[in-house]
Amino acid sequence: MKRILLLLIIFLFAAVGYSYPADTILSETDDIPQKPQSQADPLSRWQNASDAELANFVNSQIKIFIKELTKTAEGDTFINFNKIQRMTDQDRVSRLSGIFSFIAKKLESGGYEIKDKDFDYSSVIPQGTQIIFAGEFHEQYAEREVSVLAEQLRGKIGIGHVALESLTDNLENGIKKFNETGDLKYISFCRDGDTELDKRSFPVAKAARGLNIIALEDIRAQFGGIKADRQLREDRLFRKVLELEEPLQEFISGPTGVAARNITWIKKLSPYLEAYKTGRNEKPMLVYGGSRHFGYGESTGSLADRTKAQGIKVVNILYISAASIYGNNFWNNIPGSGKYAQPKIIINVPKAVKDTIGADYIILF
């Protein structure tokens, strides 16, 4: 348990949401055609600004956006705003500790199933399910597992929509281009190379190509509070945002920021939610992102709780990397796992503790 608690603290901020925009450019991509001059990027004027002017602009946009998000959360009747304002890091550690204690007990008692890479996800999704939430602790590379989930769901239950936290709303035109061509460069966070965000969105987007792919995140949350209507460049403004973004990243990963983003995402999904509620023939949806945005019982008003409250049928899956938490020898200690090429553990969460654990199923991969 001491090891688990230590790791919980390490993973604390990774579990709440993407806390970086694109801090590392990993590789070059082919260029994307420029828009006509009549549609010039309004942010281009900042390329000739002084360093002080750039800093003032970025800092002012961060303050404005934080104020807007705070007002959004404060006006939400689904949550107790005063309660989330009082939340501390220890509150988050306590919730994560409860999750990992639950897992430890299930592993000790044998309260789990071992499956291989070809596990049929439709076996745990009841007929009539309208939204499947796939939550992760960021930087554990669950996108590979979720891409398998997406491929299966489009074939077995006919999902029509895939919503991703790791895609920002300035990429909506790029998503259309990607669906037409299959070229991932159109949905890269930055035109000049693949980023950390891209590593999470690309595998799932590839599996969802041809479906309605929804960019959940407001670009301002990942770009210093600055609105953009097109793909970003690694230019002076981009680099200045990376230099000054820490206050915003801390805020959006905290309780008030998470709550406000949840509200924004629910509004973005509202046309589909209305279709589900009214019984119109709307195909199911897969939603993928940080577990804190989806967990049942979260004080910040998760998407799963908000949609369930509207009478929408949901299934909530939490993905956890076994090696990241328990070390590379984890599978050597699981009886029977050796006969599987890519084993995964499936834990069914009892109804009585769903709000504490935050999910219907836990997948250890």
| Euclidean distance between CA atoms 148 and 322, whole angstroms | 18
Is the distance from CB of 72 to CB of 266 less than 8 angstroms?
no
Q: Is residue 148 part of a domain?
A: yes
pTM: 0.89
Number of C-alpha atoms within 13 angstroms, CB side, residue 184? Answer: 18
Mean pLDDT of the 113-136 span? 95
Quote the pLDDT of residue 60. Answer: 98
User: Quick one: which of 29, 22, 32 has its CA closest to 237?
Assistant: 22
Quote the pLDDT of residue 37. Answer: 35
Top pLDDT among 35 and 276 is at 276
Quote the pLDDT of residue 1. Answer: 42
Top pLDDT among 1 and 178 is at 178
**Domains identified in the chain, total number:** 1
DSSP 8-state secondary structure symbol assigned to residue 191: T
Q: Is residue 25 part of a domain?
A: no
Is residue 194 over pLDDT 70? yes
Catalogue the E-assigned strands of the chain: 113-115, 131-136, 161-168, 212-217, 285-290, 314-320, 344-348, 361-364
Beta sheet of 285-290, edge-to-edge order: 113-115, 344-348, 361-364, 314-320, 131-136, 285-290, 161-168, 212-217
| Euclidean distance between CA atoms 253 and 259, whole angstroms | 10
Quote the pLDDT of residue 257. Answer: 98
SS3 193: strand
Mean pLDDT of the chain: 90
CA 27, 252, 138: angle at the middle one, nearest 5?
Answer: 50
Quote the pLDDT of residue 141. Answer: 84
Q: How far is C-alpha 86 from the geometric centre of its chain's CA atoms?
A: 24
Q: Which two three-digit tokens encode residue 158?
A: 């006919």
In the chain, how long is the greatest CA-to-CA distance? 66
Which domain does 52 fall in, by range?
A: 2-15+42-364
Mean pLDDT of the 212-235 span? 96
Q: Is residue 207 part of a domain?
A: yes
| Euclidean distance between CA atoms 193 and 216, whole angstroms | 21
pLDDT tens per residue, range 253-299: 999 999 999 999 999 999 999 999 998 878 999 999 999 999 999 99
Q: Is residue 23 part of a domain?
A: no
Quote the pLDDT of residue 320. Answer: 97
pLDDT tens per residue, range 78-98: 999 999 999 999 999 999 999
Q: Is residue 34 part of a domain?
A: no
pLDDT tens per residue, range 127-161: 999 999 999 998 888 999 999 999 999 999 999 99
Angle (deg, nearest 10), helices 143-156 and 196-208: 20
Is the distance from CB of 187 to CB of 174 less than 8 angstroms?
yes
Strand pairing of 113-115 and 131-136? Answer: unpaired
Quote the pLDDT of residue 192. Answer: 84
Q: Is residue 24 part of a domain?
A: no
User: Quick one: which of 150, 149, 147 has its CA closest to 160?
Assistant: 150
Is residue 204 over pLDDT 50? yes
Q: Is residue 339 part of a domain?
A: yes
Is the distance from CB of 22 to CB of 196 less than 8 angstroms?
yes
Q: Is residue 269 part of a domain?
A: yes
Is residue 12 over pLDDT 80? no
Top pLDDT among 306 and 2 is at 306
